Amino acid sequence: MLTRLYRNLRYIRRVEEEVARIYPSDKIKSPVHLSIGQEAVSVGVCDVLRDDDVVSGSYRGHATYLAKGGDLNALMSELYGKDTGCSRGKGGSMHLVDMSHHILGTSAVVGTTISVATGYALALKREGKGRVVVAFFGDGATEEGSFYESVNFATLHRLPILFVCENNFYAIHTPQTKRWSSPHLSKRVEAFGLPVAVETQSDVLRIRTLASEFVDRCRKKEGGPAFLELHCYRWKEHVGPNEDFDAGYRSKDEQRPWIESDQMERIGAMISPAERKALDSEIELKIAAAIEFAENSPSPSEEELYTHVYA
């Protein structure tokens, strides 16, 4: 298990670091919202899922996509705006989908994927095969009406969905202290009648344990939904490859404890140096191959403008 967790933490970190490196070259054709520093959330939760379970992500969705096994070539090609991308080069970083790995399409519109995931959970309950949906979203999305409508509907109908809030304390540049009259998000959610849990240290092992307990509950015929509030911290700016501590809305001192407790380094120290070196090398080769694939892939044809168009 530790080897698997380290591999996925390192894999996501290095993919996003390479995205940040390439981005200034203008080869990447869409805005990017990086999850560097937040990887433990997706990795810990997705590690307990079955292959046929479903995930739904936000526009900061690279980590969710990769943790669930999404195709890296298709992701990188999508960032490059290429025809081989997971959205045929038309969606970019904020619109990732891989239904072969049961990854629902992400969206740039805050909170919209939560209700789509809830509807999918209704379908899975009727299917009756014990599959679950995990909906990932940021703390800002919990301020949208669709979130509370979805939680209420899921609890009322005992749907197999785990709501996961990646609480990084900011909605773009606005801290929670300027948005919420009370900091007790989980208490507000608990009032709907579903179980909740909070992890404040982004401990990937603790996240995995909590997710396992709640996912097992969701699988039961009338288990119903659950809610995880997982504290984390993004190391980069809201959108883009750089740091933004000079913008004045947060400080390096605030970030420091999160770097010191970096879960990738923590779990990496729990496996042998030789194994870690081998995993690191494997990851670098895979990422390099995906970048080469994206760069050599064709751009969409003009005809692609008219595919998948409703009217």
Q: What is the radius of gyration, based on Cα positions, of the chain? A: 19
Residue 160 · residue 225 · CB < 8 Å: yes
Chain mean position to CA 74: 16
- Between CA 162 and CA 196 the distance in angstroms is 10
Which pLDDT value is given to residue 145?
96
- Between CA 58 and CA 29 the distance in angstroms is 19
Residue-range definition of the domain harbouring residue 82: 2-297
How is 64-123 classified by DSSP, letter by letter? HHHHTT--HHHHHHHHTT-TTSTTTTSS-TT---BGGGTBPPP-SSTTHHHHHHHHHHHH
In a domain, 311, yes or no: no
In a domain, 131, yes or no: yes
- Between CA 61 and CA 143 the distance in angstroms is 19
In a domain, 151, yes or no: yes
In a domain, 27, yes or no: yes
In a domain, 229, yes or no: yes
In a domain, 310, yes or no: no
- Rounded to whole angstroms, what are the CA distances from 275 to 12, 266, 268, 280, 283? 18, 15, 9, 9, 12
- Between CA 31 and CA 19 the distance in angstroms is 11
Verdict on whether the full-model pTM lies above 0.75: yes
CATH number assigned to the domain comprising residue 246 = 3.40.50.970
The 10 Å Cβ neighbour count of residue 31 is 14
In a domain, 263, yes or no: yes
- The pLDDT profile of the chain, 311 residues, written as one tens digit per residue, is 999 999 999 999 999 999 999 999 999 989 999 999 999 999 999 999 999 999 999 999 999 999 999 999 999 999 999 999 999 999 999 999 999 999 999 999 999 999 999 999 999 999 999 999 999 999 999 999 999 999 999 999 999 999 999 999 999 999 999 999 988 999 999 999 999 999 999 999 999 999 999 999 999 988 999 999 999 999 999 999 999 999 999 999 999 999 999 999 999 999 999 999 999 999 999 999 999 999 999 999 998 888 888 88
**What are the backbone angles phi and psi of residue 55, rounded to the nearest 5°?**
-125, 150
In a domain, 304, yes or no: no
Reported as type and span, the H/E element at residue 205 is helix 204-219
Please count the structural domains in the chain: 1
